[in-house]
């Protein structure tokens, strides 16, 4: 997948998000300290924030180009978004959450309900209420919900951050399985070098809304000085 | 209690239910708008909605009387167009208590809409849902308990409305007499026994409505 975030200017609270970067990889990581603009970058790709200027392109498809006043609404971008807390609809059952976005699905077998539910090991949760399931289960349901909408790109915002070490390890295995089964490109936001080196093949590093480094994660973490590491 | 007094109770219940149902769609829509981020004229609308809460009810009644009277802007239009008179009829009672209870519905519903996590609406958009679908499947269900509580509060307010009603509808026995107006009249006529009976019914109904509203709101906060 080729993802271009060019000429980006999005005013945030203390500083703007200013990016001009082209990325290539199946799982691209956005790394950086808290408040560096990682989630805002995801929101921008999903079409949930209005930038002052932006050119966003995925594999040749232009999602936004403010120079010509073009911006696809979030509904038409085909982006699956899994926010940090999962953002499941609390008044709906797990099953109703899963089917919420599957309206635009066209019955492809890879993205069938049975297959997605099977890969994410949530079949036993379908009839449960969202309030009855654990944090890790919520993340799996949120990921399944996003996958069932057959996205061209998945945005994962620190999906394992709230889990303990044991569950984190299982979560990483699951994410690797999702990557292998569905071949959906991902943008993965995380604080964790371990997670990023395990599943990502390209990484950008943000600090105060600016790009400070880019390249292969293992290379960046081992041979180059990644300034945000010192903040951890 | 005499039949005549029961009729007053039924009339009051009827006009209160009708006015609450009439203000519900507009009140909920306005509350949703007011819960949205800044838009032009929002402060003005907020102030106008709150006005009936802070100005004397008789003053609101006087404004309605001037607007809805035969020579009023709205009253003359309605009479010419539909051949319907408003002031000093049951319709005036419905309008007066609707206007007076509208702010309670809007304010409570607005708080309920503001309590809905906007992230959920954003994620619904990424899942392909349009704004109307998001409103009916995410926003409204999550705000429903607050809206129900606001509706009950508005209904309770309608049950006891006095000042605006007497200005615009008068107190015509069998035609526009509500519980509040009748209590006042019975006291004026030194018929304390009848007044106290209506007072008892009024307190019971208001107590029930407010209690249910509090119960619904409590249940809502325990869910979040």
Count interface pairs A-B at CB distance under 8 A.
Answer: 57
Please provide the CATH number assigned to the domain covering A2-78+152-231.
3.40.50.300
For residue B112, the distance in angstroms to the closest alpha carbon of chain A comes to 15
| pLDDT score recorded for residue A207 | 92
CB contact under 8 A, A80 and B128: no
Closest chain B residue to A78, measured at CA? B126
Q: Which residues of chain B have pLDDT under 70?
A: 219-224
pLDDT at A225: 63
**For an interface test with B, which of A78, A87, A150, A159 has the most B Cβ atoms less than 10 Å from its Cβ?**
A87
Counted domains in chain B:
1
Q: Return the top range by mean pLDDT from A112-121, A157-166, B35-44, B88-97.
A: B88-97
Residue B126, domain extent? 3-223
Average pLDDT of A7-27?
A: 94
Contact between A145 and A97 (Cβ < 8 Å): yes
Put simply, the answer to whether B141 touches A91 (Cβ < 8 Å) is yes
- Residue A111 clears pLDDT 60, i.e. is over it: yes
Please check the confidence at residue A230 and state whether its pLDDT lies above 50. Answer: no
Structure tokens at B21: 């149902």
Q: Is B123 on the interface with A (CB under 8 A)?
A: yes
What percent of chain A has pLDDT above 90? 70
Put simply, the answer to whether A87 touches B117 (Cβ < 8 Å) is yes
Quote the pLDDT of residue A163: 80
Structure tokens at A178: 């999702």
Which residues of B are less than 8 Å from A103 in CB distance? Answer: 128
CA-nearest of A106, A111, A48, A50 to A79 is: A48
**If pLDDT is split at 50, 70 and 90, which confidence band does A141 have?**
very high
Give pLDDT, residue B222.
52
How confident is the model at residue A104, as a pLDDT?
53
Confidence (pLDDT) at A1:
92
What pLDDT does residue B220 have?
57
pLDDT of residue B213: 79
What CATH number does the domain containing B210 carry? 1.10.3720.10
Contact B142/A at CB under 8 A: yes
Q: Which pTM does this prediction carry?
A: 0.85
pLDDT tier, A231 (very low <50, low <70, confident <90, very high otherwise): very low
Q: Which residue has the higher pLDDT, A26 or B206?
A: A26
Report the 3 state secondary structure along A22-48: EEECCEEEEECCCCCCHHHHHHHHHCC
Domain boundaries, chain A: 2-78+152-231, 87-150
pLDDT of A120 higher than 50: yes
List, in order, residues 6 or more apart from A227 with CB less than 8 Å away: A205, A207, A212, A213
Q: What average pLDDT does the segment A191-209 reach?
A: 92
Residue A75: which of B128, B141, B223 has the nearest Cβ?
A: B128
The pLDDT confidence band at residue A227, using thresholds 50, 70 and 90, is: low
Smallest Cβ–Cβ distance between B126 and the set A80, A85, A89 belongs to A80
Residue B128 contacts A where some CB pair is shorter than 8 Å: yes
Give start and end residues of each alpha helix (H) in chain B: 3-35, 42-54, 57-68, 73-82, 90-114, 118-126, 131-134, 140-159, 163-169, 179-188, 192-223
**Is any Cβ of chain A less than 8 angstroms from the Cβ of B125?**
yes
Task: Evaluate whether A203 touches A224 at the Cβ level (below 8 Å).
Answer: no
A188-193 mean pLDDT: 92
Of A48-52, A161-165, A216-220, B121-125, least confident by mean pLDDT is A161-165
Token pair 């049950």: residue: B159
ipTM: 0.91
């Amino acid at each position: 997948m080729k993802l271009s975030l060019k000429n980006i200017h999005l005013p945030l609270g203390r500083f703007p998000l200013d990016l001009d970067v082209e990325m290539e990889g199946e799982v691209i990581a956005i790394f950086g300290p808290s408040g560096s603009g990682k989630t805002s970058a995801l929101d921008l790709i999903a079409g949930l924030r209005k930038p002052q200027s932006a050119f966003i392109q995925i594999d040749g498809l232009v999602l936004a180009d403010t120079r010509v006043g073009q911006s696809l609404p979030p509904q038409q971008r085909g982006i699956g978004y899994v926010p940090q807390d999962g953002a499941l609809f609390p008044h709906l059952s797990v099953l109703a959450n899963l089917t919420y976005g599957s309206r635009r699905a066209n019955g492809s077998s890879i993205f069938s309900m049975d297959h997605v539910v099977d890969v994410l090991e949530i079949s036993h949760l379908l009839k449960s209420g969202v309030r009855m399931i654990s944090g890790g289960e919520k993340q799996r349901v949120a990921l399944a919900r996003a996958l069932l909408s057959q996205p061209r790109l998945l945005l994962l915002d620190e999906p394992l951050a709230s889990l303990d070490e044991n569950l984190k390890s299982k979560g990483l295995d699951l994410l690797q399985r999702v990557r292998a089964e569905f071949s959906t490109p991902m943008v993965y936001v995380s604080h964790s070098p371990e997670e990023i080196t395990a599943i990502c093949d390209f990484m950008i590093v943000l600090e105060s809304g600016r790009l400070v480094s880019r390249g292969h994660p293992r290379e960046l973490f081992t041979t180059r000085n990644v300034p945000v590491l010192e903040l951890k | 209690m005499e039949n005549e007094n029961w009729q007053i109770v039924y009339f009051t219940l009827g006009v209160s239910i009708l006015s609450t149902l009439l203000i519900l769609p507009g009140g909920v829509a306005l509350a949703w708008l007011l819960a949205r981020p800044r838009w032009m004229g929002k402060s003005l609308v907020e102030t106008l909605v709150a006005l009936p809460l802070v100005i004397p009810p008789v003053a609101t009644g006087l404004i309605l009387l001037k607007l809805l009277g035969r020579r009023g802007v709205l009253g003359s239009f309605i009479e010419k167009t539909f051949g319907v008179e408003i002031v000093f009829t049951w319709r005036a009672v419905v309008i007066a208590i609707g206007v007076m209870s509208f702010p309670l519905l809007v304010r409570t519903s607005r708080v309920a809409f503001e309590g809905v996590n906007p992230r959920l609406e954003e994620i619904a958009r990424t899942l392909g849902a349009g704004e109307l679908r998001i409103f009916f499947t995410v926003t409204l269900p999550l705000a429903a308990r607050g809206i129900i509580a606001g509706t009950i509060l508005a209904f309770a307010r309608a049950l006891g409305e006095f000042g605006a009603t007497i200005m615009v509808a008068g107190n015509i026995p069998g035609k526009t007499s509500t519980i509040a107006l009748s209590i006042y009249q019975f006291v004026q006529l030194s018929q304390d026994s009848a007044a106290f009976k209506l007072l008892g019914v009024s307190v019971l109904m208001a107590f029930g409505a407010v209690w249910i509203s509090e119960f619904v709101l409590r249940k809502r906060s325990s869910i979040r």
